[in-house]
Amino acid sequence: MAGRSRKQRSSSSSWSSESSYNMSDLQYRAKLPEKKAKEEFLANPIRGYLTEDDTTHDNSSMGRSRKRNRHSKKEQHVKDETFSSEDNQDSSVSSKKRNTRGRRKRAGISRKRKVNGQKQSRATILTWLIDCGVIQENAEVVVIEEETTKKMGKIKKEGILCSCCCTVLTVGDFYKHAGGTTSKPYEYILIAETCSSLLSFMVKAWYLPEESKFHRFNLIETSHDASDSYDDACMICADGGNLMCCDNCSSTYHHNKCLGMQEVPNGSWYCPFCVCKICGDPAYENDYLQKCQQCERKYHRECRQAREPVSLDMNETQEDTFCDLTCKKIYDKLERCYLGVEHELDKSYKWTLLQNTDDGSGINIEDDYQRTVCHSKLVVARRLMEDCFEEIIDRHTKIDVVKSLVYNCGSNFNRVNFRGFYTFILENDEEIISAATIRIHGTNLAEMPFIATNKEYRRKGMCKKLMVAIETTLCSLKVEKLVIPSVSECIETWIESYGFRLISSPLPKEITLHNTLMFHDSVRLQKDIRPSASDKQVWTNGRLKSVIHRAVVNKEKQRLSIAYFMNPTSSATIECPQQLIDSVSNPRKYVPFTWGELRYLLLTTRRVRGKAVAINNFLISS
């Protein structure tokens, strides 16, 4: 190490799906004549990181497709380069040169054909089990109770074909049709030939080597060469260039652009993940830092004790470690109320929060049935995401980003440490319609790098439904801000239709303290998660008012604010009681509605100068 000057590293940007790292892609292309491959490539538009979904503005969608075409041309240019570099038998070297700042990632050809050529298949547990070969389509199934056969049927990709009525039913409906009374249809529907349950096949498929190899911790091995033991992309912006390295781990940063530091410090410098969250120091001698189970930040036990003297709530064991009470509360609530639990959104839609609980670092689901169903749905969600997005292989670590993210895989490289991610899914009749990955860093910040909707359901408001579930959950966990990385084509939609805005102070500073997933060609957007008082106005038939959302101060009068929070279940009815209504002097002003319906409108209707207009939808016109 030369003198006292800081270790620095220079590199190019990181996320890519370079052909040199994807063998199947390379092999596939080698078989195709060059011209045919090019035609196929041009026929398929480029998709962003966030799949475009429903927007009511026809204009914006036209604008987007125009932009896409421009990108296609640019991609074609990149593509030509790739072919010539392969002709030179030098693809790995030239790919490094090519991958310079600001260039969009290039798409994998085989994936594109799959997305655009065929109808996207139903994302269900049955289609997964059939596709990975553990059960056969048309296999006979039976429901046996008290040693008598209640119903027989056949496995189909669309569901179970009942032999008595020749109707295709969902797994749950077939079980009910057979008179089943438990809440565990996958356990009580058996494959006739072997008399083993669908559940046992789900366990088998989850542990197939080609599946389970993606569930593991991503250990990035580095050689003794100092330069490759550091990451080549900035933790904050994911771009390359001149990067400042942490003295303890692999993390690198743009000291000025991303951390706002004027100079690279002389002497040791430690990244936010190598110091105590509370005092800012690295581990003392003969000491070590605890890692918080919820936010992954580290802390000295003594520092936390000093800040929050031992309370009964924090009575924790060695395995049970939290940096503060807030993190513990978030974790407990996720475990108790959300993970693996189906929630009804409205009549036919359900949403569930999922996580891979196998690695032992996060929340555990005690119930075997619930855990197996949770893992199975996670695989189905992963398949849905892979149908929507190009494969993204991290250039430096060679990690498959989507798989590692959905399975919340940890890593010794902070930037690709995806511990703590959850997947939200929206289901209709056991089919997963939409899926999103979320990580909660504390009450100040949550991130959502991916949200995807099955192609067959786009432009039907599904993404908005899932966003309602996500924002309701974040609101109940008291999380205040949600950030997303958006590709430039989608920014307008996120702002116009979903209420996001460009990130502003103090959020950029907060982001430097956490590990949020970023793509070098994306822009961060934020949304404030706020509760609303509109329901009180309806309850009291307009006696209490939902005030305009603003803060006004004046010199004459004192301002008194009372903060009051409530979050009922989605199916709870909001209506004014009969006693408060007089048919002549004070007739009923609003029709009764459910909390879920109101939440949906609150989140999808734009506020007009801070005034919530959603409840106007329930006004009774006189």
Subset of residues 519 to 548 that bind Zn ion, contact rule: CB under 5 A: none
Cβ 105 to Zn ion shortest distance, Å: 17
Cβ 189 to Zn ion shortest distance, Å: 13
Q: How many helices (H) and strands (E) does the chain have?
A: 19, 23
Sole window of 284-292, 421-429, 527-535, 549-557 interacting with Zn ion (rule: CB under 5 A): 284-292
CA 86 to CA 610: how far, in whole Å?
A: 57
Q: Which of 407, 413, 403, 401 is nearest to 16 (CA)?
A: 401
| Matching residue, tokens 């027989």 | 152
CA 24 to CA 107: how far, in whole Å?
A: 13
* CB neighbours of residue 582 within 10 Å: 10
- Which pair of structure tokens corresponds to residue 184? 């565990």
* Strand 481-487 to 445-453 pairing: parallel
CA 70 to CA 393: how far, in whole Å?
A: 24
The reply to whether 164 sits near Zn ion by the rule CB under 5 A is yes
Cβ 472 to Zn ion shortest distance, Å: 23
The reply to whether 244 sits near Zn ion by the rule CB under 5 A is no
Cβ 494 to Zn ion shortest distance, Å: 22
Sole window of 231-239, 370-378, 576-584, 604-612 interacting with Zn ion (rule: CB under 5 A): 231-239
DSSP helix/strand/coil, 24: helix
The reply to whether 279 sits near Zn ion by the rule CB under 5 A is yes
In the bound state with Zn ion, the residue whose beta carbon lies nearer, of 162 and 373, is 162
Q: Which of 550, 573, 572 is nearest to 561 (CA)?
A: 550
The reply to whether 345 sits near Zn ion by the rule CB under 5 A is no
The reply to whether 246 sits near Zn ion by the rule CB under 5 A is yes
Sole window of 245-253, 362-370, 392-400, 592-600 interacting with Zn ion (rule: CB under 5 A): 245-253
* Strand 241-245 to 252-253 pairing: antiparallel
Contact 400, 392 (CB under 8 A): yes
CA 493 to CA 67: how far, in whole Å?
A: 14
CA angle 573, 577, 579 (to 5 degrees): 175
CA 11 to CA 8: how far, in whole Å?
A: 10
How many residues in the shown chain lie near Zn ion by CB under 5 A? 24
The reply to whether 143 sits near Zn ion by the rule CB under 5 A is no
The reply to whether 248 sits near Zn ion by the rule CB under 5 A is yes
Q: Which of 538, 541, 451 is nearest to 497 (CA)?
A: 451
The reply to whether 168 sits near Zn ion by the rule CB under 5 A is no
In the bound state with Zn ion, the residue whose beta carbon lies nearer, of 384 and 445, is 445
In the bound state with Zn ion, the residue whose beta carbon lies nearer, of 207 and 217, is 217
Q: Pick the binder of Zn ion from 42, 168, 274, 533 (CB under 5 A).
A: 274
* Omega before 209 within 30 of 0, i.e. cis: no
The reply to whether 142 sits near Zn ion by the rule CB under 5 A is no
Q: Pick the binder of Zn ion from 50, 143, 244, 258 (CB under 5 A).
A: 258
In the bound state with Zn ion, the residue whose beta carbon lies nearer, of 323 and 603, is 323
The reply to whether 162 sits near Zn ion by the rule CB under 5 A is yes
Q: Decide: residue 405, CB within 10 A, 0-12 exposed, 13-18 middle, 19+ buried.
A: buried
Cβ 408 to Zn ion shortest distance, Å: 16
Cβ 540 to Zn ion shortest distance, Å: 40
Contact 484, 449 (CB under 8 A): yes
Cβ 182 to Zn ion shortest distance, Å: 19
Distances 613 to 120, 229, 501, 610 between C-alpha atoms, Å: 37, 54, 20, 9
Cβ 226 to Zn ion shortest distance, Å: 15
CA 65 to CA 15: how far, in whole Å?
A: 24
Cβ 415 to Zn ion shortest distance, Å: 11
Subset of residues 292 to 331 that bind Zn ion, contact rule: CB under 5 A: 292, 294-295, 300, 303, 323, 327
Sole window of 39-47, 116-124, 235-243, 476-484 interacting with Zn ion (rule: CB under 5 A): 235-243
The per-residue b/e assignment along 15-28, b for 16 or more CB within 10 angstroms, e otherwise, is bbbbbbbbeebeeb
Cβ 595 to Zn ion shortest distance, Å: 30
* Strand 445-453 to 140-145 pairing: unpaired
Cβ 191 to Zn ion shortest distance, Å: 18
Q: Pick the binder of Zn ion from 249, 259, 507, 613 (CB under 5 A).
A: 249
In the bound state with Zn ion, the residue whose beta carbon lies nearer, of 236 and 381, is 236
Q: What does the binding site for Zn ion look like in residue numbers (CB under 5 A)?
A: 162, 164-165, 234, 236-237, 246, 248-249, 251, 254, 258, 271, 274, 276, 278-279, 292, 294-295, 300, 303, 323, 327
